[in-house]
Amino acid sequence: MTVETQRRQNSCRHTSHLLIPPPHQRPCRAHRSKLQQALLKETNQSRIRVGRKLVSTSQLESGRLRLSFEGGYTDEVDLLIGADGIRSVVREFAFPDHSISHTGSTAYRGLARTSDALKTNGLEKAVIFWHGTGSKWIYTCPLGGDDLEVTVRIKEPYIDGEERVSGGQEASIRPVQDAFSGELSPPLRQLLNIVDRVQQFDFFAGPRLGSIVQHGSIALIGDASHPLSGAFGAGTGFALEDAYVLGGALEWAVEQGKPVSAGLEVFDRVRSPHYEALYGVLDQYGVAEGELASLGLSPQDEIKVRIDKVWNAEHDWMYYYQADTALEQELQKLSLESSELHS
């Protein structure tokens, strides 16, 4: 059975979840630069400073935070929001004992012309995961215009002395073709041949943080707050949820005449339990993969069992989570507690 045939059989079994979700829950991908430009249009440009990489952070006796950037620029702030990615400098300061490491997996991401890809028999203009053995997969997704995203995950164990980087770097498509040797169906072989160039992203991850706020003045959002390997393909969505909840929590603190630390506490009470649940899903994946490895299945059966055990609808809740509802429920709970204290 080919990789793409296995995926289509899975799609047919779970049609309501995979092929026809409600319009507001359909998969959405966009070029990062386009998303950034859209966000910047809603921001006061005079308050934006680009090209200044944070080098270090220190806490002054006053409780304020001193920030030092490349080029010698410094600033002092009352609130620091670390949205600086998987290798967060802010997280290193706030939680110096926390560390991340390479997971043994690597992603290769590239673009193909949709018009060329659709000439390949067996490809569709849709979001599709094509599964292989050993947790390998190929992901295809239209990005708008004539761009088709092609992202591949393969296992690449760490070799002593080898440098691994989380950011994208130019790479050859050859490791992908080698990793799938003997498994690729003709449509996927043709697809990889028309990918112009790829970037390599080594997967890093670390243990869950018990809290994503520190010192009453620091909050972490996005990959800085949840160093999950791959973030279930929804890292941008998680970061936007973080930002929404943090903004609402700080707005509540201001309206209630409370300090910034109170707003950060609300943010932490909403998001930290959510990330605990996400890490729980990773733990379940690990158990499933361990069980799968012990079965000694044929390639076809391995793919089928992995889809049934890991890629099933049981974990879809993370994509339908309502951050606004979670925040509102927390604020209502605080309001009720306050009323009871004063009654």
pLDDT (tens digit per residue) in 197-241: 899 988 888 999 999 999 999 999 999 998 887 777 788 889 999
Domain total of the chain = 2
Query: 114 vs 25, which has greater pLDDT?
Result: 114
From 173, 189, 205, the end of a domain falls on 205
Residue 141: inside a domain, yes or no? yes
Question: How high is the pLDDT of residue 161?
Answer: 59
Same domain, yes or no: 232 and 201: no
pLDDT (tens digit per residue) in 257-283: 999 999 999 999 999 999 999 999 888
Same domain, yes or no: 220 and 197: no
* Secondary structure letter of residue 285 according to DSSP: H
- Range of the structural domain that residue 151 is part of: 3-30+101-205
pLDDT band at 317 (very low <50, low <70, confident <90, very high): confident
Residue 342: inside a domain, yes or no? no
Question: How high is the pLDDT of residue 125?
Answer: 82
Same domain, yes or no: 157 and 235: no
Query: 218 vs 119, which has greater pLDDT?
Result: 218
CB 259 within 8 A of CB 340: no
Same domain, yes or no: 199 and 129: yes
Q: What is the pTM of this model?
A: 0.85
Same domain, yes or no: 230 and 201: no
Same domain, yes or no: 172 and 249: no
Residue 230: inside a domain, yes or no? yes
- Give the pLDDT mean for 303-324: 86
Same domain, yes or no: 299 and 253: yes
Question: How high is the pLDDT of residue 34?
Answer: 84
Residue 257: inside a domain, yes or no? yes
CB 101 within 8 A of CB 87: no
Q: In what order do the strands lie in the sheet with 198-205?
A: 128-131, 137-144, 147-155, 101-113, 198-205, 169-171
